[in-house]
Amino acid sequence: MHFGLDFDDTITADDMLWDILIPLIIKAGHQITIVTIRAAGSLNDDINQYAEKHGLPVVFTHGCQKSMLTKAMGIHIDVWIDDSPLFIPETTDMPGLIIGEFVSGQGNIQTADDVERYLSTTPNSNKKTFKEQCRRHALTMTLKWLRWLTR
């Protein structure tokens, strides 16, 4: 299995727990990739150091939906572990998830204002441009991924 593991508020929620679990998962023959909504850049020393410590690759999605970007990069994730699951599915799957999140009242979207705010910040009005940005970013990240694999 290939695990997609979020960093902020997932690994960082209990990094000592993940220090134990990550080697066990790898020892069992599985893969782990840290997949973060963050943009690549100089403010990621914490992620990069943690990934290096465990020998894990990192995918920076730059705000793109995690599943869409990893698929575009040719990375198949079997199991996602993320404190904010709304960042995982493809944008075409989002309307149902937003309604489910709102109705359940258990997540990040609890009021109509939250739904409106989420929709206003989601680039659905210009999907082609957003998808094109994700594709370009996916190519850049694929190159970084390949460099990491061949280091």
Judged by DSSP in three states, 52 sits in helix
* pLDDT tens for the 151 residues of the chain, in order: 999 999 999 999 999 999 999 999 999 999 999 999 898 887 899 999 999 999 999 999 888 888 888 888 889 999 999 988 877 876 555 555 555 555 555 555 555 555 555 555 555 444 455 555 665 565 566 556 656 666 6
Q: Count the helices and strands in the chain (H runs, E runs).
A: 6, 4
CA 123 from chain centre, in angstroms, equals: 17
Nearest to 142 by CA among 80, 61, 64: 61
Residue 121's pLDDT is 57
| Backbone torsion region of residue 61, taken as left when φ is above 0, otherwise alpha when ψ lies between -120 and 50, otherwise beta | alpha
Residue 13's pLDDT is 95
Cα-Cα-Cα-Cα dihedral sign, residues 131, 137, 142, 145: negative
Residue 125's pLDDT is 44
Going from N- to C-terminal start, the domains of the chain cover 2-89+126-149
